[in-house]
């Protein structure tokens, strides 16, 4: 009797976890890129200095950890922006005259907002050039040569009379003189967009020194220093970590993975399902990175709907006890859909690192595989521990699958109208 109570408690915990995942987001585990962006290319100047070419969204540069605007009061001031209320929401638009008058001031904010240290000592920087680009007039930033050209000052386009600050990019070139013989350095930032850009910050650092290109992808505001050094391992490791984080922070992804795990009756079956899913994920992720995926107007809405449908399909398969090679094949097919979703979210960021993104794709997918296996094995062995309470285990498994399927069905119902609206609109 007491054993069944303990099993029921675990079932309640799983139900609570599923409800939390459902409430986390009803939109998508793979949001569109509407975030603060920081891309930095590191290169070597002819005199041996370290050259850093920055590309940042304007809110990240000027936000200064601004608190939320309070309805009924004035919109808080942020440099180089003009704030106003629209339909009860605070917006900050680019202050075009101020940017035209003093773009160098923006460059100095970028310079002051980043700290580079080598051998334990701060390395001062020298501002070289600044350029500000509104959406529709943004030059490529894929290589050091393109980045250098993008930082050359240009006049604000006369046709652009208003632009939300989130769609303005600040490109800055800064030179640092590292200590003799130093190649490794630490890079941190004090910039914080606050209310101007609360959607989160993604970062890509591309180190072109040492004869090969190394990529570092991290999330957040960089209060803790990132170690940058020539060497392939560090760059790939950052993408592996990004793949793991993607699994652990994606509600859609976790819910689908839970359905796969709950339907597996052995570790081997679990491994085949997870690997099949990762294989599909990897294929479409790579195709998305290289721009080989069509994106008609209805594409994104259909993708979100297909992800919700995949949860219903995986959950229903588990409830019906479908096994054998059917599930790895199904996981492969559904992995193709999920890969399209993450490619949609990251393509704009990772296309910025130049043509050589193979190690980034491989590292990211390795992280996806490791994250899925870790979560999958944790859930699998948790349920295996319930097997001595055979009736309770079956009930908990069935209840968890039913609840996961129901959550997926709710998301599916919410997303179908968006597909119809997208098809009707274009």
Domain boundaries, the chain: 2-30+250-425, 36-234
Q: Over the chain, what HEC string results?
A: CHHHHHHHHHHHHHHHHHHHHHHHCCCCCCCCCCCEEEEEEEEECCCCCEEEEEEEEHHHHHCCCCCCCCCCCCCCCCCCEEEEEECCEEEEEECHHHHHHCHHHHHHHHHHCEEEEECCEECCEEEEEEEEEECCCCCCCCCHHHHHHHCCCCCCCCCCCCCEHHHEEEEEEEEECCCCCCCCEEEEECCCCHHHCCCCEEEEEEECCCCCCEEEEEECCCCCCEEECCCHHHHHHHHHHHHHHHHHHCHHHHHHHHHHHHCCCCHHHHHHHHHHHHHHHHHHHHHHHCCCCCCCCCHHHHHHHHHHHHHHHHHHHHHHCCCCCHHHHHHHHHHHHHHHHHHHHHHHHHHHHCCCCHHHHHHHHHHHHHHHHHHHHHHHHHHHCCCCCHHHHHHHHHHHHHHHHHHHHHHHHHHHHHHHHHHHHC
Residue 115 scores a pLDDT above 60: yes
Pairing of strands 168-176, 125-134: antiparallel
Residue 41 scores a pLDDT above 70: yes
Quickly state the pLDDT bin for 105 (edges 50, 70, 90).
very high
Q: How many residues does the chain have?
A: 426
pLDDT computed for residue 268 by the predictor: 80
Residue 401's nearest CA partner among 283, 280, 302, 316 is 316
pLDDT computed for residue 235 by the predictor: 63
pLDDT computed for residue 188 by the predictor: 95
Give the least confident one: 82-86, 266-270, 316-320, 396-400. 266-270
Measure the CA–CA gap between 357 and 142, rounded to whole angstroms: 11
Residue 17 scores a pLDDT above 80: no
- Residue whose token pair is 């229903």: 316
pLDDT computed for residue 391 by the predictor: 62
Cβ neighbors of 315 (< 8 A, separation 6 or more) are: 259, 401, 402, 404, 405, 408
pLDDT computed for residue 96 by the predictor: 97
pLDDT computed for residue 357 by the predictor: 60
pLDDT computed for residue 217 by the predictor: 78
The overall pTM is greater than 0.85: no
Measure the CA–CA gap between 8 and 11, rounded to whole angstroms: 5
């Amino acid at each position: 009797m007491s054993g069944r109570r303990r099993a029921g408690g675990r079932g309640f915990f799983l139900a609570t976890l599923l409800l939390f995942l459902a409430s986390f987001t009803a939109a998508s585990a793979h949001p569109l890129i509407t975030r603060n962006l920081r891309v930095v290319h590191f290169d070597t100047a002819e005199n041996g200095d370290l050259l850093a070419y920055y590309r940042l969204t304007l809110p990240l540069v000027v936000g200064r950890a601004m608190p939320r605007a309070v309805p009924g009061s004035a919109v808080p001031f942020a440099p180089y922006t003009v704030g106003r209320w629209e339909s009860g929401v605070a917006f900050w638009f680019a202050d075009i005259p101020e940017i035209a008058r003093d773009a160098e001031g923006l460059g100095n904010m970028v310079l002051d907002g980043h700290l580079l240290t080598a051998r334990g000592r701060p390395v001062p920087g020298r501002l070289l050039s600044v350029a500000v680009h509104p959406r529709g007039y943004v030059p490529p930033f894929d290589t050091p040569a393109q980045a250098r050209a993008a930082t050359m000052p240009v006049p604000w386009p006369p046709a652009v009379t208003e632009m939300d600050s989130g769609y303005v990019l600040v490109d800055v070139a800064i030179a640092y003189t590292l200590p003799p013989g130093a190649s490794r350095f630490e890079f941190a930032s004090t910039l914080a967009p606050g209310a101007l850009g609360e959607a989160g910050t993604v970062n890509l650092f591309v180190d072109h020194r040492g004869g090969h290109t190394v990529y570092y992808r991290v999330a957040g505001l960089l209060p803790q220093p990132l170690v940058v050094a020539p060497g392939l391992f560090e760059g790939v490791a950052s993408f592996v970590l990004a793949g793991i984080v993607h699994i652990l922070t994606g509600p859609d992804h976790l819910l689908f993975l839970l359905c796969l795990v709950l339907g597996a009756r052995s570790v081997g079956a679990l491994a085949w399902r997870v690997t099949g899913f990762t294989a599909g994920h990897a294929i479409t992720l790579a195709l998305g990175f290289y721009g080989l995926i069509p994106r008609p107007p209805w594409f994104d809405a259909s993708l979100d709907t297909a992800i919700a449908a995949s949860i219903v399909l995986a959950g229903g398969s588990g409830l019906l006890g479908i096994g054998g090679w059917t599930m790895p094949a199904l996981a492969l097919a559904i992995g193709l859909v999920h890969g399209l979703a993450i490619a949609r979210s990251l393509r704009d960021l990772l296309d910025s690192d130049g043509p050589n993104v193979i190690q980034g794709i491989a590292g990211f997918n390795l992280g996806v595989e490791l994250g899925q296996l870790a979560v999958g094995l944790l859930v699998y062995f948790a349920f295996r521990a319930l097997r001595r309470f055979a009736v309770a285990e079956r009930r908990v498994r069935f209840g968890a699958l039913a609840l996961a399927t129901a959550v997926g069905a709710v998301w599916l119902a919410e997303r179908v109208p968006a597909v119809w609206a997208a098809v009707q609109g274009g």
